[in-house]
Chains A and B, each alone.
Chain A
Amino acid sequence: MAYSVKVLDHYENPRNVGSFARDEEGVATGMVGAPACGDVMKLQIKVGKGGIIEDAKFKTYGCGSAIASSSLVTEWVKGRTIDQAMDIRNTQIAEELALPPVKIHCSILAEDAIKAAVADYRKKHGEQG
């Protein structure tokens, strides 16, 4: 399979790889996917004052497109409020990375990871979505 330049860049130089301590103030975690499907994404956001995402980290088990999608998402969510982060759509991710049709599920998973992380944040902070 031929990968786009952007997928290769994120794959070779993934941004924001790692983990925050789960009990750290403002940290929420979204884990989506399943080993059976060949993709598991863990996205963590660190939310500061005013609901702004100050930092994000990821770890992904999956193909190059899955790694690139989650790496891109960590860049995109930083500096946004959690509500703005919820506006990120898989189609934007797929377009930015020029994902082929068989890899669209990677962008869907990345969108799901944002939703899961935000849901975890809201659960911990008792906010209603």
Chain B
Amino acid sequence: MLKLPIYLDYSATTPVDPRVAEKMIPYLVEKFGNPASRSHSFGWEAEAAVEEAREEVANLVNADPKEIVWTSGATESNNLALKGAAQFYCGKGKHLITVKTEHKAVLDTCRELERQGFAVSYLDVQENGLIDLEAFSSALRPDTILASVMFVNNEIGVIQPIAELGEICRSRGILLHVDAAQATGKVAIDLATLKVDLMSFSAHKTYGPKGIGALYVQRKPRVRLNAQMHGGGHERGFRSGTLPTHQIVGMGEAFRLARLEMGVENERIRMLRDRLLRGVSDIDEVYINGDMEHRVPHNLNLSFAYVEGESLLMAIKDLAVSSGSACTSASLEPSYVLRALGRNDELAHSSIRFTLGRFTTADEVDYATRLLHEKISRLRELSPLWEMVQEGVDLSTVQWAAH
């Protein structure tokens, strides 16, 4: 029997893997020491666990454990990387570059840096969601100090060309920050070869607990940051605050499992994602948002033309998915990511993000497929746009009474 609702929102968050939870629990009750306590075994035990976890995080991305700084999550890592680097290197220049499809944790931090006197360029992406390397190069200025580009987009799952961007930035002496919250366990990351200076990680997108993340801060060449959290000088002064041992242990175990299992897991998930795509591909006027080749296997972002996203979410409430449309909030704007791809309003308002994961089954995918067939057809029966299109009306020629 299927358990409803079916969770297909793994890019929002993942459950903690039971193996991870099991490893965390002793650090709440018996092994509760403060890893900064140097005078007794409680502290030493906690410190050893923290350092073992740091090694596991470093191992997944082929970095040195000394390059890993614990934070509360990818949002804090992005804040520390961008504000910390911009403020430290502001003597070299005050221009930053990022991309319009970045996560709000980057975009909003950039807005704050603009208020602090920095100039930020927000680059467009191509129709497939990927950054155009030539456009990127030509946006660089003599006073550019930092570029920030996400590894994997959270809405459409496309993988940006980080290796090429790293080459461009390094040759120009510009720091490159990469938000990899959606990438760990999904794409191979080799920081020994990638010319990336700063990289943000989150545990809870990779079957670890919420509230813990990390920032990779490259040592060779050395990257300096102004701390944003001051206090006891933890994490070599990069980020003060008592380390949450149990969370860190959880992130370490989650990243260790990701390293061991991602090869097999990604192929299984790709098979399920492709099964979902095949299952809905005979529905008329379904459009894929974002490049299918340069994309993580977990993500499928579809627009069901002439059906509005929020009503579709209501209709498929047995599926826990998210809509590109922000109609559920006070804002009536469709997804800024889909708008950046140049999607028209009807398609941007009609998008659904399906993200599959470790515990998704073929039965769940088949149930989702059947439900989509049934509900899309019902909502199209209700849709005046669908009726007009069936009658041969070109909607772009209609004079709408905008409200």
Contacts and interface: CB of A to CB of B under 8 A. Distances in A.
Interface of A: 1, 3, 11, 14, 17, 19, 31-42, 59-64, 66-67, 102, 105, 108-109, 112, 116
B385 A34 contact: no
B383 A32 contact: no
The residue in A14, A33, A35 that gathers the most chain B C-beta atoms within 10 A of its C-beta is A35
A40 B307 contact: no
Contacts of A108: 403
A38 B400 contact: no
Name the residue in A14, A38, A40, A66 with the highest tally of chain B Cβ atoms < 10 Å from its Cβ. Answer: A38
Contact of B328 (A1, A34, A35): A1
A17 B381 CA distance: 8
B328 to A, nearest CB: 5
Q: Which are the 6 A-B pairs with shortest beta-carbon distances?
A: A34-B400, A42-B384, A63-B310, A36-B345, A59-B384, A34-B402
Contacts of A33: 400-403
Given A1-B328, A11-B311, A61 B403 contact: no
A69 to B, nearest CB: 12
Contacts of A63: 308, 310-311, 314, 327
A65 B382 CA distance: 14
Contacts of A67: 311, 382
B311 A109 contact: no
Nearest to B401: A32
Interface string B359-403: 000000000000000000000011111110000000100001111
A64 to B, nearest CB: 5
B306 A61 contact: yes
Contacts of B329: 102
B308 A61 contact: yes
Contacts of A1: 328
Contact of B402 (A17, A37, A62): A37
- Which of B309, B345, B382, B387 has the most chain A CB atoms closer than 10 A to its own CB? B382
Contacts of B402: 33-34, 36-37
Name the residue in A17, A102, A109 with the highest tally of chain B Cβ atoms < 10 Å from its Cβ: A102
A103 to B, nearest CB: 9
Chain A contact surface mostly: mixed
A62 B310 CA distance: 7
A39 B387 CA distance: 15
A3 B403 contact: no
B291 interface: no
**Residue from B327, B334, B345 whose CB has the most chain A CB atoms within 10 Å:** B327
25 contacts: A17-B381, A19-B387, A32-B401, A33-B402, A34-B401, A34-B403, A35-B344, A35-B349, A36-B400, A37-B345, A38-B308, A38-B327, A38-B345, A40-B400, A42-B384, A59-B387, A61-B308, A61-B385, A63-B311, A63-B327, A64-B314, A67-B382, A105-B332, A105-B403, A109-B403
B112 to A, nearest CB: 27
A38 B349 contact: yes
A3 B306 CA distance: 22
Given A38-B325, A64-B314, 14 more contacts: A11-B311, A33-B401, A33-B403, A34-B402, A35-B345, A36-B345, A38-B310, A38-B332, A39-B308, A40-B385, A41-B384, A59-B382, A64-B310, A116-B401
Contact of B382 (A14, A32, A36, A38): A14
Interface string B304-334: 0011111100100000000001011110101
B346 interface: yes
A40 B384 contact: yes
A11 B308 CA distance: 13
Contacts of A61: 306-308, 382-386
A23 B132 CA distance: 52
A126 B49 CA distance: 84
A11 B375 CA distance: 12
Given A60-B382, A63-B311, A35 B403 contact: no
B211 to A, nearest CB: 26
Contacts of B387: 19, 42, 59
A94 to B, nearest CB: 15
A14 B395 CA distance: 25
A32 B400 CA distance: 7
A32 B384 contact: no
A71 B147 CA distance: 51
Nearest to B385: A61
